[in-house]
Every structure is written in structure tokens, then in C-alpha cells.
Amino acid sequence: MIVPIPAIDLIGGQVVRLHQGDFNQKTTYSSDPLQVALKLEQMGFKRLHLVDLDGAKAGSLKQLAVLEKLASHTQMQIDFGGGVRSLEAMESVLSAGAQQVTVGSLALEQPALVEAFLQLRGPARLLLAADVRNGMLVSRAWTAQSEIGLSGFLEYWAERGLQEVFVTEVSRDGAMRGPATELYADLCTAFPQLRIIASGGVRGPGDVQALADVGCYGAIIGKALYEDVVPRMRWIELLQKGTYAG
């Protein structure tokens, strides 16, 4: 069982996808995020990964109004990230209707703030983002390369009670080359206490099933949905046959 999670990435209020996180390689799919979210909900998706790319680049929240609209007009469980750099920003995301706050750069650069949020709100309200390039973490919309390895980062947060993390292999994101299945298999084995959500490279239901087979809790799906790589009905069948675990 696995949770397929569609992604909506936002720039200027529009639904976009970037190729390997490069803001210069942007494709715009819709100017109406709500209509996109409603279509995803109608297909049967119950969770939504909403990313404020403007906020991630600027270091402050830019798309809260979109979050509020989607949260008030759909029943999907929304996690929201991008530009979350303070406790106040984390609370603003929850107040706007997200069920989970996604933090990446903040967990890397100011872990004490994230620990304070964990103590205040509990792990169910937090989704950790671990973005990886060549085995090392990147941050700030993938523009800043760190010297911190993925395993040490996950071990640190697992020890502090974190439950759920999505891991993006940046080289796979938007490239339609398939997910880094071996990486996720290793992570699921090394961190059985964590719910590992795979992100990057998913081309269709077959990739989602492959990630389920190695133990992933969830799989984030982006470009494959927007470019109709596989027929819409195949996604619906995936959701209807019980693959959805959420």
C-alpha cells in the first residue's frame, strides 16, 4: 500500500513545473490552481503537496492566498512548503488551512526552531523535506549546496520524533527518468521508523507500485500528471483498486 500524492508547484499564482529545480527551465500548466486541485480531487487523490516556489526563492511566504483557497474549496489533506523560515510562518501555514507544514531549509539551517515546532504542535503537523544532489542536501529552492549528508540528517530528525519525510533526488525531478528506487529502498531499510515519501521521476502507476514494493509510504507525482504521460484512467484505476493507503 502506498499514498500517491499529486504536487502543485506555484510561481506567480500559476501551476508550473521546473526541470531539476532550475527556475530557468519552467513550464506553466495552468493559471488556475484551484481548478487543477479540484480535478485531482475528482480523480480520487486525497492528499496534495503544495509548493510555494516564489517563497522558497525569496525566503518568505508568497502564496498563502492560494493555500487558503484550495483548503476552503477541497477536502484534500494539504501539506504546504516554500519560504517557511520562522515559527510565525509555520503557524501562518496551519492557520491558512494546511494540515502539515513542509520544512526543508529551516530544518537544515535553524533546527532549533523546527524542534520547538515539534514540541508545540507534534510530529503529525510536520513534513520534513530532504532534497538531495549527489548524496548531499541542498536548500533554498535547490540553489544552496550543503556539506550535510542525507543519512545523518534523517537520523537527527528521527531521534527527535519526526515521523514523515519526503526525499527528492534533484537530478530526477521533472526529468521523467523514473524514481531513484534503490535510494528509497536503502532509506526504508535504514529508517523503518520513518514514513518515506519518494519525490522525483515518477512516470506513471508502474513507478508508484515499484516504490510501494521497496517500502515507501508515499510517492509525489508531478509532471506525469500534467503532461498526460499515461491515460487519466490509469491513475483513477490506481486509486480505486486500493493502492491508496491514506
- Residue in this structure with the C-alpha cell 510555494, named with its chain if needed: 52
Collect all residues with Cβ–Cβ distance below 8 Å to 21 and sequence separation of at least 6.
131, 138, 141, 142, 170, 173, 174
Q: Is 131 a catalytic residue?
A: yes
Q: Which of 9, 52, 54, 79 is catalytic?
A: 9
> What SS3 state is found at 102?
strand
Q: How does DSSP assign 15-81, residue by residue?
A: EEEEETTEEEEEEEEES-HHHHHHHHHHHT--EEEEEEHHHHHHTS---HHHHHHHHHH---EEEEE
Q: Which of 52, 79, 131, 207 is catalytic?
A: 131
> What SS3 state is found at 1?
coil
Closest CA to 95 of 141, 56, 61: 61
Q: What nine digits make up the cell of 28?
A: 506553466
Contacts of 202-205 with C-beta under 8 Å, sequence gap 24+, read 202/178, 203/176, 203/178, 203/229, 203/230, 204/229, 204/230, 204/234, 205/230, 205/234, 205/235, 205/237, 205/238, 205/243
Q: How does DSSP assign 191-206, residue by residue?
A: -TTSEEEEES---SHH
Closest CA to 181 of 208, 149, 158: 208
What's the CA gap between 75 and 107, in Å, rounded?
28
Q: Is 79 a catalytic residue?
A: no
Catalytic positions: 9, 131
